[in-house]
Structure 1
Amino acid sequence: MAEIIAYVLIPVLYLATLAAYLPVAPVIAALRGLALVMQLLTGHIRLLAGVLYRRTPEFQALPPYRPQDEDVKAYRNYFFGPGFRDLRQLLILERRSYVRTVGDSFRAVTTRQFTAPTRTRAVTVPYGLTLYAGLCLGALLAVPPLGLLFGLHALVLLLLMGGARLVAGTLRALDRSVLLMKRLRTGMLCPHCFERVPYPAYDCPSPACRRRHADIRPGTYGLFRRRCECGQRMPTLLMLMSRDARLQAYCVYPHCGKPMNTDAGHMPETILPLIGGQAAGKTQLMAAMLLSLENAAADGGPAITLADEESNSNYQVLREVLRIRGHTRATQKALPRAHSFVLGSGRAERLVHLFDTAGERFVDRDETDALRYAREARTFVFVLDPMAVKAFWTSLAPGPDAPLDRTLASTVDPEEVFGRSIQAVAAMGAPLADSRLAVAVSKTDLLAGHGLAPDRPDDSDSARTWLRESLGLRSLVEAMEQEFREVRFFCTASVVDDDARVDASIGRFVAWCLRD
């Protein structure tokens, strides 16, 4: 009887139980597979939150973008590298999580149902096989939704990356359009090396940092704001810099790197080179021009503000020299730095650069080649000292008491200065045929005091005739009118009265030079 029970009844009952279990097994397998799918999807959401939000070490599979590793010491915009890095991290971590979760599930079934069951294996093995089937099904079914979520993430990221680049390009184009409207097509002038800077470099505004950023325009390191390595934020566009928060600009050329005017790029620029021989009166004329603009501003004319500390300190010295009716010292032969000032207000503002160059540089061809600023000018000033013309002295009545002091005259012939300097400027590519020339006949206050000035010093034609006929500069005048589109002659007196009012001749001269 025992054998019948052991070998017949029990197997029959076991097979009957298995037969009854088989219809239920697919449901159990499906439920286990669904549980695995939900477990994997929940893990994906946890990884997504960890990678994008928490950013703790366990969610970092790739080295981060660090400002200290960048050529530009700033944090990257999320959509210019870090976003794609997060996508790669999510893929790596998701793959690891998938393998670990599925593997742990299979190992748990193996342990509980096969290697160390708590019940008889006759019961646990069929159940374990069912769970195996469910896990296999769940592992397969989880791939499409995980792939879909990852694909949606990648698609959204690609769209945002494309949108970020479109925004950056649009902002750059807008910034470029603003520069074109300000007639800064080739960039801003560096007052030290005279090169056109397409876009200046800027220092971090934090006093404790001062890292230099070569190109702050929208792009890799920010769209509207850039975050420096120190954490300080700075605008990426000139139009986003308010007047009180303009950053210090620097020349980007390696051989220079010196500070530019803070107003560079925020307004149109006018370049006005003063050409003339040594002791022709260029420096005194420049000082008188600035004082004339200051007088005009006090009378309700356009406001004038010196653009930097160096220009301001130099002007204060020159202004005092004019006030005491002294003589300015000779301009140093070193390359000049522009004397810069902001003229006007609001939309009428413009940055004016006056260049006063040592007269020796206009005689030596090797020296004039260094005056690169002249190629960007469209109005030139030629300072002509009539006392430097031999015909001027030969026309004077002979006598032991000369009416004028010869030591005040320039030692260089104006025709030589004009010929060499214009030849050098033309060789640099300056469009002289489209430019204007203001001929400033200097020291006419000395001439007028001895009755030697033109009959009508305030008339251009009268001054032109006087130069041609009285001083014998017919060929020089013809050369000027041949080289330039428009030439105007001015008799100038760089002197001031007791009220620090500059001579009226300077006002007319300045108005023509700065005319748009």
Structure 2
Amino acid sequence: MTELIVYVLLGSLYIAVLIVYVAVALPVIVVGRSLGLTGQLLWHHGQVLVGVVHRRTPAYRIPKLPPYRPQDEPEPAYRQYFHGPATRDLHTACLLTAGRFRRTVADSFTSTTAEYLAQPAASRLATVPFGLTLFAGLGLGAVLAAVLLALLFLLHVVLVYVAQGMVRVTAGTLRAVDRAVLRAKNLHRGMVCPQCYELVEYPVYECPGDGCRRRHRDIRPGRYGVLKRRCACGRKLPTLILTGSHRLKGICPYCEGAMSDSTGLVAETVLPMVGGTAAGKTQLMAAMLMTLFDAAGRGGPPAEFADRSTAAKYEVLREVLTIRGNPLGTQRALPAAHSLLLGKGRSRRLVHIFDTAGERFVKLEDTDALRYARTARTFVFVLDPLSVAAFWQGLSPGQQAGVDRTLASPVDPELVFNQSTQTMKRMNGDLTQSRLAVAVSKYDVLHRQRLLGEHRPDDSASTRAWLVDVLGLGNLARAMEMEFREVRFFFTAAVIAEEEQVDASIVPLTDWCLGSGRYDGRTSTDRVSVR
């Protein structure tokens, strides 16, 4: 009887303690354990985000998603974060957090069961209620953590896709601005390669990193960067010509030759020299270049070489002119253009002067290489009067003796003009919107032998009349005026005159071709006014 009373009292006391425990301690323990588990799961999620986004170590990768490698991309560059990697990181973080969530919750229930239910260190009368309380806290914490993690993932998804949209809109806007700038510079149809004459929509750029030399085909804003892109070697490269991509080495995607240093930075002017073999194109081009640089040295508009190749070739041509020699004929293979920068500020432009071998103007199949004609709006036709048989035959023996006809062009100028204009039309060159400067070469010889008669060498109309009356090229002159919007005729002597200055006849031609275009053929100056 006494034992029964003791048991009853103990049972009543145990129940009373349980009631107090349930009323007072249990809510605190449940809330505390749930918050502890919730905090632990959120901390794990934060570790996952840091590991996936920042550390990128193998511990934060999953087998079903192979590691990202820039060498697998079409471009040798890392993708811009919000053009793929952000979505991949979101997916990876979701899977890793879900895996840690399952393991953490399972481990918590397992350890609680073992410690308080299966193999308690104290009496089960005390451990079982506490264990069940912890179970309640773990369940509540798991539910609370799942809700919070779901909200965090939803926020992550929204941020990623909003950022993706903003980045892509920004990249598209910058590309549109870049196109608008190119259109304002009349480069929207392409930039001229000085090596192969192709129109290049956008150069290939070479990474300047030490030992890298990887080539980026489209460096503009897009999936590999907005303002900057990161090469596979780690070097950051500008994505716009406006932000400095012109400082990189530009490569033509067609011939893999080097583009001019200022390609895309300024407007381009293409000036083709057209004429038969030995007509004097190379010598005239050298004289025009020398005129431009001499004028810049006397306070005229600035002129500088656009690449090292032009600088080297110019020095040779200048030396040949100075010693009154004859430059070697242009090689039949396509030569690189002579490129220079003229002017300053907004009027600054990149000028390509193309001197192509005269043999290419004779055979129609050879003129297909003259692709620069599509973008040219001013042409220089070099006409050698000594190449006209009727003119030579009309000279007296004394006049013929004073002229070295071995230097004359063997090609009829009418044949050259007809073939070249056919090619330009076939290549969609708009001749009706183009200008033509007809440079009658060897003026020094004509003047010395008094072969001009009463015709004025400084007047376009008088020069044209000399071609018609003396050379009998009336049909050619009329054909030129029918094909082109504007035609001007010049007598030119590509020789060095007094004080090592280019003959004054080159100045008006250069001014009309590369200057304001307002030369009226009746004035001759000693200075080029490039505007």
TM > 0.5 fold call? yes
Question: CA deviation digits over 1:167-212, x for unaligned, max 9?
Answer: 2222222222222222211121111121111111111223432222
- CA apart distance, 1:329: 1.7
Query: TM-score scaled by structure 2?
Result: 0.91
Q: Is the aligned partner of 1:486 residue 2:486?
A: yes
* Aligned residue number for residue 304 of structure 1: 303
AA paired with 2:325?
A: G
For 1:490 and 1:132, locate their aligned partners in 2 and report how far apart those are by CA, in whole Å.
102
* Aligned residue number for residue 370 of structure 1: 369
User: Residue 124 and residue 405 in structure 1: after superposition, are their counterparts in 2 closer, same or farther (change >3 A)?
Assistant: same
* Aligned residue number for residue 112 of structure 1: 115
* Aligned residue number for residue 186 of structure 1: 189
Question: CA deviation digits over 1:32-71, x for unaligned, max 9?
Answer: 3333222222322333333334444433335443333333
- CA apart distance, 1:21: 4.7
Query: TM-score scaled by structure 1?
Result: 0.93
Q: How many residues align?
A: 512
* Aligned residue number for residue 129 of structure 1: 132
**1:91-490, aligned counterparts within 5 Å?**
91-241=94-244, 246-253=247-254, 256-398=255-397, 402-453=401-452, 455-490=455-490
Question: CA deviation digits over 1:310-340, x for unaligned, max 9?
Answer: 2122111111111111112221111121111
AA paired with 1:482?
A: M
* Aligned residue number for residue 48 of structure 1: 49
Runs of 4+ in 1 over 4 A off after TM superposition: 5-22, 24-27, 398-401
AA paired with 2:39?
A: M
Question: CA deviation digits over 1:125-160, x for unaligned, max 9?
Answer: 333233223322221222211111121122222222
- CA apart distance, 1:111: 0.2
- CA apart distance, 1:88: 1.8
For 1:13 and 1:302, locate their aligned partners in 2 and report how far apart those are by CA, in whole Å.
108
- CA apart distance, 1:398: 4.9
Q: Indicate if the aligned counterparts of 1:201 and 1:213 stay in contact, CA closer than 8 A.
A: yes
For 2:400 and 2:221, locate their aligned partners in 1 and report how far apart those are by CA, in whole Å.
71
User: Residue 484 and residue 401 in structure 1: after superposition, are their counterparts in 2 closer, same or farther (change >3 A)?
Assistant: closer
Q: Indicate if the aligned counterparts of 2:399 and 2:449 stay in contact, CA closer than 8 A.
A: no
For 1:317 and 1:76, locate their aligned partners in 2 and report how far apart those are by CA, in whole Å.
47
For 2:400 and 2:458, locate their aligned partners in 1 and report how far apart those are by CA, in whole Å.
29
For 2:348 and 2:398, locate their aligned partners in 1 and report how far apart those are by CA, in whole Å.
54
- CA apart distance, 1:446: 0.6
For 2:50 and 2:360, locate their aligned partners in 1 and report how far apart those are by CA, in whole Å.
68
* Aligned residue number for residue 513 of structure 1: 513
User: Residue 313 and residue 19 in structure 1: after superposition, are their counterparts in 2 closer, same or farther (change >3 A)?
Assistant: closer
User: Residue 22 and residue 399 in structure 1: after superposition, are their counterparts in 2 closer, same or farther (change >3 A)?
Assistant: closer
- CA apart distance, 1:401: 6.0
Q: Indicate if the aligned counterparts of 2:205 and 2:219 stay in contact, CA closer than 8 A.
A: yes
For 1:374 and 1:485, locate their aligned partners in 2 and report how far apart those are by CA, in whole Å.
15
AA paired with 1:506?
A: I
User: Residue 400 and residue 229 in structure 1: after superposition, are their counterparts in 2 closer, same or farther (change >3 A)?
Assistant: closer
Q: Indicate if the aligned counterparts of 1:65 and 1:76 stay in contact, CA closer than 8 A.
A: no
For 1:362 and 1:214, locate their aligned partners in 2 and report how far apart those are by CA, in whole Å.
34
The worse-fitting range, judged by mean Cα deviation, of 144-153 and 8-17 is 8-17
- CA apart distance, 1:487: 0.6
Q: Is the aligned partner of 1:32 residue 2:33?
A: yes
Q: Indicate if the aligned counterparts of 1:375 and 1:425 stay in contact, CA closer than 8 A.
A: yes
RMSD: 2.3
AA paired with 2:369?
A: A
Question: CA deviation digits over 1:84-112, x for unaligned, max 9?
Answer: 22222211121011101111110011101
Q: Is the aligned partner of 1:500 residue 2:503?
A: no
Question: CA deviation digits over 1:422-464, x for unaligned, max 9?
Answer: 0111111000111111101111111111111252011000011
For structure 1, which runs of at least 5 residues remain unmatched after alignment?
Answer: none
For 1:184 and 1:178, locate their aligned partners in 2 and report how far apart those are by CA, in whole Å.
8
For 2:15 and 2:313, locate their aligned partners in 1 and report how far apart those are by CA, in whole Å.
109
* Aligned residue number for residue 59 of structure 1: 60
AA paired with 1:117?
A: P
The worse-fitting range, judged by mean Cα deviation, of 450-459 and 72-81 is 72-81
Q: Is the aligned partner of 1:88 residue 2:87?
A: no
For 1:22 and 1:232, locate their aligned partners in 2 and report how far apart those are by CA, in whole Å.
64
Q: Indicate if the aligned counterparts of 1:64 and 1:82 stay in contact, CA closer than 8 A.
A: no
- CA apart distance, 1:465: 0.9
* Aligned residue number for residue 529 of structure 2: none
* Aligned residue number for residue 524 of structure 2: none
- CA apart distance, 1:397: 2.7
